[in-house]
Each structure stands twice: as C-alpha cells, then as structure tokens.
Structure 1
Amino acid sequence: MFFIQGLIIGFSWSAPIGMQNIYMFNNAVSNPRWRALAANFFVWLADVLLSLTAFFGIGLIMAKYQLLKVLIMLLGGMLVIWIGFLIVRSAREVDLGTQAVSKPMTKLISGAFMVTWANPQAIIDGTMMLGASKAVLPNVMSEFYFMLGVAMASAIWNFSMTMLLSNARAKLSSRFMFRVNLISGLVILAYGIRLIIKGLLISLKMV
C-alpha cells in the first residue's frame, strides 16, 4: 500500500513539464540511445537524491529561516535564467544525431544535476508534497516502501520517455528541434524571472 502511494506521488512529482523534463527530452532526441540512457541515469539519480532531501525536511530549514529561502530563490532564479539563455543561444546549433559527439559525458552529468538541484521551486514543492506524506507514515518501513515507490515512479517515467523519444528521433527534423529548444529556453527564462520576482516579494514582506 505504501509503495503504491509512493508510485502515485512519484508520478505527480516527475510528470509535470519543467527544466528536468525539457533536459531529458533534448538529450533523448539529440543523442544516440545508449548515451541518452546513460545521461538519463544521472537525471534519475539527481531526482531521487532531491526527493530524499525534500522528504527528510530541507523545507523545514527554509520555513524556519525565510532569508535562506529568499537567497535560494534569488540565486536559483538567476541560475535558471542563465540556463534558459544558454538553451536559446544554442537553439540553432542542434544537429540531430551529432550533438552528443561534441558534448562530453561530464557535461551531460553536470547538466542533469544542475537542472534538478538549481530549481528552488522543485525543492519547495517537493518538500510540501513529500514532507506532508512523511508526516502521516507510521514507521520507518512504511517510509522505506513509500520512497521506493517514488524512486520507481521516477525511473519508469524518465526511462520510458527517453526510450519513446529516442525511437522517434529519426522522424524529427532539425527545424523542429530548433523550435523545441527555442520554446524550452524561453519557458525556462520566464520561470527564472518568476522565481526572482517571488523571492523579491517575499523579501519585501520581511521588511
């Protein structure tokens, strides 16, 4: 039962479109399948580590220290804007099937952790979602099965989407990928701006 609960929460956590899913999409259609799956393993690992961190209460620290929350949102927002700018700037450079040759695996790995951990809203939302679930779990074993379900949901979502998109990459044109990257970058830019505005609004309330 607790495992099923974790699966449901995990899919709710993984499925919404955000920086991580955009990154996974771009990797799947721009890289050979083995490389996309290898990079996606680190996306999944970063996601599980963030889920565990949120589950065990990083949000409690941010709730107690509002200034820390503001700093994380402002700095994270600036980093998100920078990521969005890089995606927009490189949108025309996408060449299906060759992009992975020029991008080292170290960059794919660092990118996986960046799009996951450089997202303050994901930390906050994850804490609310997973932290609330932890509060009603009766014991350590129930917590274990619950988080196992969360991790399994993340794996199912990430790897199935990577395989699906990787199979479809032969049918995608470079023009289509340019549009996808441009829109993705603009969405992330807007998201970063929104984070900074929210951080500023919170800071004004603290004055």
Structure 2
Amino acid sequence: MNTTILATVLAGMLSGLSLIVAIGAQNAFVLRQGVARQHVGVVVAICAVSDVALIVAGVVGVGAVVEGHPTVLRIVTVGGAAYLVWFGVRSLLAARHPKALTAGLPTAKSSVVGTAFALTWLNPHVYLDTVLMLGNLSTSHGPTGRWWFGLGACVASLLWFAGLGYAARLASRWFAQPRTWQVLDVVIGLVMFALAGMLLRSIF
C-alpha cells in the first residue's frame, strides 16, 4: 500500500470516526448494552454492518451522480459544508450542558434487536451523516481514491462499534461522567469545522 492510498484510507477513518463517534441514541444504546453485557455481539453486528452498507451506498451513489453531473459536486459540497458547520455548532452547544448516560435497558433479545435496527435505520441523521456526507467527502479523492476512503470509513465503523460495545464494561465508570461527553463534543465540533473547510477548499 503506497503513501497516497494509506493517507486516503486514514482520511476515511478520521472522517468516519468524526461522524460516528458523536454521542447519540445509537451510541448510547450500544454503550449501555456493553455495560450490561446483554446481547452485545448482536447489537454491534447490526450497527456495524448497517453502517458499512450505508457508507458503500454513499460512495457509490454520490460518486455516480458527480461523475455524470460535475456541477452537482459544487452544490452538494456547499450544502454538505453548511451541514457540517451546523453539526459542529450543535456539538459545541451540547458541550455546554453535558449529560451522563441513563439506565433503562431492554432485556429480551427481540426487543434489543428491534431497538438496534430502529436507532440505525429510522434515524434521519444517519442518511445525512453516513450516506450524504461521507459519500460527498469521498468524491474529493477521485474515482479510485474514493473507494480507499470508503474502506477507511468502513474500518473505522467496525472498530468503533466493536470497541464501544466490548470495552464498555471496563470503561463504564469513565463513560458515565458528563465531563467525558463534554470534552468529546468539543473535539467533534472542532473536527466538523475543519471538515467543512476542507470541503469548501476543494471547490474554490
């Protein structure tokens, strides 16, 4: 693997983690299941495989549209940058009022599976973050590079959900602190601003 490909894969991993790591209903659910050691493997598999499918859909779909209609790239890029700025502002605002995780875990496997699917596929933000944003970011790496970028994002997703679910037991006390999520939200907000700048720089 040459330096350019490695850099593209790492860019995909960083971008993927930046969008996935943000505290939300799905991550909180995976974390709670990990802390409780209830159906962790099933939950991790559903979230990770679903995320990979969405990433691939974004790389394929957005890439195809851009190849056929180059002017679409500028429109989507500006819109994507605006969304990233909004996402960053939202993260920084959330950091002002951090909250710890709460209890309330479903115990039946069917309930856990249903909740995991619902939090993944019924969340409108997953389509904006994973399909639109990562698909859009991948186009800046060219027809071939976008696949390496997508691979990096997929690897990041697999590592994140597996790590979150299986390491949650050891880190339960740390994750339960509001201060942890406050620092995380600030970091995510700053990364979102940086990504927005990268997008705009690619077309202007």
- TM-score tier by shorter-chain length is 0.5 to 0.7
1:16 aligns with 2:22: yes
1:147 aligns with 2:134: no
1:96-155 Cα distance to aligned partner (Å, 9 max, x none): xxx64xx12x43333222111111122123344213223222223x23221111111112
Residue number among 42, 47, 57 corresponding to 1:43 in the alignment: 47
Number of aligned residue pairs: give it: 133
8 Å CA contact 2:58, 2:136 repeated in 1 = no
Q: Tell me, in whole angstroms, the C-alpha distance in 2 between the residues paired with 1:138 and 1:54.
A: 14
SS in 1 for 2:170: helix
TM-align CA RMSD: 3.0
Q: Tell me, in whole angstroms, the C-alpha distance in 2 between the residues paired with 1:166 and 1:37.
A: 14
8 Å CA contact 2:12, 2:150 repeated in 1 = yes
8 Å CA contact 2:51, 2:130 repeated in 1 = no
Q: Tell me, in whole angstroms, the C-alpha distance in 2 between the residues paired with 1:163 and 1:37.
A: 8
1:186-205 → structure 2 map (5 Å cutoff): none
8 Å CA contact 1:4, 1:146 repeated in 2 = yes
Residue number among 18, 36, 42 corresponding to 1:30 in the alignment: 36
Q: CA deviation at 1:167?
A: 2.9
Q: TM-score, normalised by structure 1?
A: 0.54
Letter in 2 for 1:123: Y
Tell me the residue number matched to 2:121. 117
Structure 1: state its 5+ residue gaps: 64-90, 177-207
In structure 2, do the counterparts of structure 1 residues 125 and 168 end up closer, same or farther at CA, with 3 Å as the change threshold? closer
Tell me the residue number matched to 2:167. 164
8 Å CA contact 1:50, 1:116 repeated in 2 = no
8 Å CA contact 2:138, 2:147 repeated in 1 = no
Q: Tell me, in whole angstroms, the C-alpha distance in 2 between the residues paired with 1:92 and 1:40.
A: 19
Q: TM-score, normalised by structure 2?
A: 0.55
In structure 2, do the counterparts of structure 1 residues 138 and 166 end up closer, same or farther at CA, with 3 Å as the change threshold? same
Q: Tell me, in whole angstroms, the C-alpha distance in 1 between the residues paired with 2:122 and 2:138.
A: 24
Percent of residue pairs bearing the same amino acid type: 22
SS in 2 for 1:166: coil
Structure 2: state its 5+ residue gaps: 1-6, 66-71, 73-101, 177-204
8 Å CA contact 1:10, 1:154 repeated in 2 = yes
